[in-house]
């Protein structure tokens, strides 16, 4: 929570003080902290313990910065008491419902059984956390390219709307690919439950689950084609390949590979981070951003995905209790904060 609040204040200020371009080099603590933290965040081979040390050192520095920003810019109408709760999910909640509706219509099939199978995980209440679409919609806004010449309002709006629709389409495609991989994974793992209800293979059998997964993949391909951007098609087709590779890596490891951190991170990238990273990059490409910005979007998605999975791994041991110590969770949050900060400072 703290992180998001801090970030939102910083990003609001950046529009007024070009924070990103002027603060980072000037403030010694910040530049030092963000550099090492960003380096630690972006470089996936850094060990977790190393990160913790860097973060606990930088934490007081960040506190200091927040206060400095607050003092320096008096035009900021900021009241530390009435801070906005910036919930990223609520920022895009309305848009997500539109997407959900459209998704449900996109997976309608001729054959009734196939239709029920395909829409099984898109029904109200079982859409999951919708983490990926949230990230993508936020990224789309974060990369908003303002049209410099004042066009006639209608034209500008139409262009902006069309772009937004295309970016929403990426979010929908991502969800279809994600659910398709879930359906197949559950078949492969003989899973009984998923998202709190019976898994599709449990409820309707393996055959229908495999077919429904194929169906969703084909719908995703058709939707991809409609975007008429072959780089985007390649990006997301590669994601499917990565999902498969990651799953196979998990299934077929030698004992050397199973004990290798590199192998584990590679597999985790394929299984979890590739989808978010490549779809973030696709969002940037559709927005007409430069290759550099597209890479930044990619890096954000990749590191977010890796961080997510690493925490997932931790939670698998600790559950909801903080038995390993309260420090660990908030330390990892700083990974997210600082990588967001670094990237935001470059973009904004």
CB of 252 to its own copies, least distance (A): 4
Alpha-carbon span 193 to 195, nearest angstrom: 7
For residue 321, give the DSSP letter.
S
- When asked if residue 222 is in the footprint of its own copies (CB under 8 A), the reply is yes
Burial of residue 196, with CB atoms counted within 10 A of its CB: 0-12 exposed, 13-18 middle, 19 or more buried: exposed
Q: How far is the CB of 193 from its own copies (least distance, A)?
A: 19
Q: Does 71 bind its own copies (CB under 8 A)?
A: no
Task: Check residue 240 for interaction with its own copies (CB under 8 A).
Answer: yes
Q: Residue 194: helix, strand or coil by DSSP?
A: strand
Tabulate helix, strand, coil % of the chain (nearest 5).
75, 0, 20
How many chain residues are in contact with its own copies, going by CB under 8 A? 41
Report if residue 248 touches its own copies, rule: CB under 8 A.
Answer: yes
260 lies in the site for its own copies, by CB under 8 A: no
**Nearer to its own copies by C-beta: 76 or 221?**
221
Interaction between residue 256 and its own copies (CB under 8 A): no
219 binds its own copies (CB under 8 A): yes
Q: How many CB atoms lie within 10 A of CB 109?
A: 17
Instruction: Please give the Cα distance from 184 to 101 (Å, whole number).
Output: 24
Q: What are the distances in angstroms from CA 200 to CA 176, 181, 203?
A: 15, 12, 5
The least CB distance from residue 184 to its own copies, in Å, is: 6
Shortest distance, position 283 Cβ to its own copies, whole Å:
17
Residues that bind its own copies (CB under 8 A): 109-114, 184, 187-188, 206-208, 210-211, 213-215, 217-219, 221-222, 224-226, 228, 230, 233-234, 237-238, 240-241, 243-245, 247-249, 251-252
């Amino acid at each position: 929570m703290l992180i998001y609040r801090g970030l939102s204040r910083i990003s609001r200020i950046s529009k007024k003080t070009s924070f990103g371009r002027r603060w980072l080099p000037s403030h010694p603590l910040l530049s030092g902290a963000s550099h090492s933290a960003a380096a630690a965040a972006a470089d996936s081979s850094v060990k977790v313990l190393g990160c913790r040390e860097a973060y606990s050192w930088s934490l007081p520095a960040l506190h200091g910065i927040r206060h400095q920003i607050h003092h320096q810019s008096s035009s900021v109408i900021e009241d530390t008491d009435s801070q906005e709760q910036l919930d990223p999910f609520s920022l895009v909640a309305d848009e997500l419902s539109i997407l959900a509706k459209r998704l449900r219509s996109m997976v309608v099939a001729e054959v009734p059984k196939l239709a029920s199978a395909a829409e099984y995980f898109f029904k109200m209440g079982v859409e999951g956390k919708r983490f990926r679409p949230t990230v993508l919609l936020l990224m789309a806004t974060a990369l908003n390219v303002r049209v410099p010449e004042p066009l006639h309002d209608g034209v500008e709006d139409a262009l902006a709307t069309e772009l937004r629709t295309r970016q929403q389409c990426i979010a929908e495609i991502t969800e279809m690919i994600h659910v398709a991989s879930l359906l197949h994974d559950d078949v492969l793992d003989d899973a009984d439950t998923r998202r709190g209800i019976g898994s599709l293979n449990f409820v309707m059998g393996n055959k229908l689950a495999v077919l429904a997964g194929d169906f969703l993949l084909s719908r995703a391909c058709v939707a991809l084609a409609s975007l008429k951007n072959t780089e985007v098609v390649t990006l997301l087709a590669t994601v499917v390949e990565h999902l498969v590779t990651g799953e196979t890596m998990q299934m077929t490891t030698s004992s050397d590979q199973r004990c290798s951190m590199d192998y584990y991170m590679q597999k985790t990238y394929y299984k979890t981070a590739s989808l978010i990273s490549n779809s973030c990059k696709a969002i940037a490409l559709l927005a007409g951003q430069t290759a550099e910005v597209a890479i930044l979007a990619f890096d954000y998605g990749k590191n977010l995905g890796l961080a997510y999975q690493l925490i997932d791994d931790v939670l698998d041991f600790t559950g909801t209790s903080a038995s390993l110590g309260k420090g660990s969770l908030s330390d990892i949050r700083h990974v997210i904060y600082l990588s967001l900060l670094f990237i935001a400072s470059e973009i904004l």
